Structure 1
C-alpha cells in the first residue's frame, strides 16, 4: 500500500469488538445510517453483534413514535437499519427493570417495556437514565469481523457517561479525536471526496 494512503488503515492496537465498546465509522463509510456513525455494542459473540448508533438523533420525542407511551421529554436516535419500526433502549436502571441485560458498569440494554412505561408515568425515571433508539445495528457471525478487515470500523473503548450524553452527528469528530493522533486527519476529509 502507498505510504500516503496508510492514514486510512485502522490500527486498533488489537482492540477487539466486545459488548461495551464502540465502533467509529471510517470517514467514507457509505450509507445513511452508518455514514460517520458511532455504534455502541450491547452484544457480541461468534454468532454476531448488536449495537445502537449513538449520534443520529431524530426530530421527535419518544411518545410521538408510540401513541400509548407516557409524556416523557426524551430524545430518540436512529439505532440502525434493522427493525426501524421498533423502539429499543439502553439505561441505568439495572434490576429495577426486569429482563434487562447488563452491558457494562451500570449500563443495561432492554427490559420489560410495560414496567418502563409504568415507572415513567409514576416519575421514577429521569431522561438522563435512558436513551431510546428506533431500530438497531446488527451483524451475523463473521460479518463485523469482515468489515473490520476492510478497515470500515475503528474499535475503541468508551466511558459509560459518554454513551448516555446528548450526542449529534458532529459527535463523530469528538470520538475520532479521542481515538488518537493517528486518526486526526480523518476530521479534515469531506464526506464525499468526489464533491471536493
Structure 2
C-alpha cells in the first residue's frame, strides 16, 4: 500500500493491517505535531482500562474513558477536544479538533457536567517519532497517511470500527483491506 500524502498536522496515520507491534496493531494515530525534529500523535482507538476519575481523584464522577496515546511518556495525560467554545483554549490541529488547553478550566467544566465524553478524549502517553523515523516507516508501508476523515471518527467510542472506517474512507482501492483478519494465518 503506497501512501501519497506526507504526514502533517491533523492527518491520520493508519497502521497496515498485519502490523504486529502491540503498541500500534490496527491503530489510527492523529498527528498533533509534525516538524523536522519529529512527530507527535495520539492513538485514537486503543482504550485503557482506566477512567479519568481513576487518574485525577478530584474529578469525582468523571466517567471519561482514557486511551493509550502511545508508548512514550506514559506518565503524562493529554487531551484533544472539539469544544473550544467551552474551554476557550487549545491548539487547533484539524478542522474543529483542538489539542490541550487550560486544564484547570477543564476540571471545572467536567465537575459541572458541562462537557460530555463525545466532545473530548483523554490519553496516557503519546506516540512519537524522531525526524527520519516516521518517513522511513511510511516508506516501509507500515503507515498510510490520510486526511479523509470526519471529526466524529476522532471522538468515536467504537474503537473496533475506527480503523475499519478510516480504511474504507480511503476509497475502493483500500476498502477490501478493512476485511482482512487481524491474524494473517487465518486466511
Q: Same fold (TM over 0.5)?
A: yes
Structure 1 position 95, deviation (Å): 6.9
In structure 1, C-alpha distance between the alignment counterparts of 2:181 and 2:116, rounded to whole Å: 38
Deviations 1:31-83 (A, max 9, x none): 11200101111111111111111111223321112323342221211111111
Residue 131 of structure 1 corresponds to 121
In structure 1, C-alpha distance between the alignment counterparts of 2:186 and 2:96, rounded to whole Å: 43
Residue 189 of structure 1 corresponds to 180
Task: Single out whichever of 136-145 and 169-178 deviates more from structure 2.
Answer: 169-178
In structure 2, C-alpha distance between the alignment counterparts of 1:41 and 1:145, rounded to whole Å: 13
Contact 1:70–1:120 under 8 Å retained in 2? no
- Please identify the structure whose Cα radius of gyration is greater: 1
In structure 2, C-alpha distance between the alignment counterparts of 1:127 and 1:141, rounded to whole Å: 33
Q: TM-score normalized by structure 1? A: 0.85
In structure 2, C-alpha distance between the alignment counterparts of 1:70 and 1:100, rounded to whole Å: 24
In structure 2, C-alpha distance between the alignment counterparts of 1:136 and 1:43, rounded to whole Å: 11
Task: Single out whichever of 122-131 and 44-53 deviates more from structure 2.
Answer: 122-131
In structure 1, C-alpha distance between the alignment counterparts of 2:109 and 2:79, rounded to whole Å: 15
CA RMSD of aligned residues (A): 2.0
Structure 1 position 96, deviation (Å): 5.0
Structure 1 position 166, deviation (Å): 1.6
Contact 2:59–2:110 under 8 Å retained in 1? no
Q: Secondary structure at the match of 1:27?
A: coil
Contact 1:100–1:110 under 8 Å retained in 2? yes
Structure 1 position 138, deviation (Å): 0.8
In structure 2, C-alpha distance between the alignment counterparts of 1:36 and 1:193, rounded to whole Å: 13
In structure 1, C-alpha distance between the alignment counterparts of 2:24 and 2:160, rounded to whole Å: 11
Contact 2:12–2:29 under 8 Å retained in 1? yes
Structure 1 position 25, deviation (Å): 0.2
In structure 1, C-alpha distance between the alignment counterparts of 2:88 and 2:140, rounded to whole Å: 39
In structure 2, C-alpha distance between the alignment counterparts of 1:82 and 1:184, rounded to whole Å: 31
Task: Single out whichever of 87-96 and 23-32 deviates more from structure 2.
Answer: 87-96
Matched, 1:149 2:139: yes
How many residue pairs get matched?
A: 186
Q: Which runs of 4+ in 1 moved over 6 A?
A: none
Residue 104 of structure 2 corresponds to 114
Matched, 1:77 2:67: yes
In structure 1, C-alpha distance between the alignment counterparts of 2:91 and 2:76, rounded to whole Å: 18
In structure 2, C-alpha distance between the alignment counterparts of 1:142 and 1:105, rounded to whole Å: 27
Residue 18 of structure 2 corresponds to 28
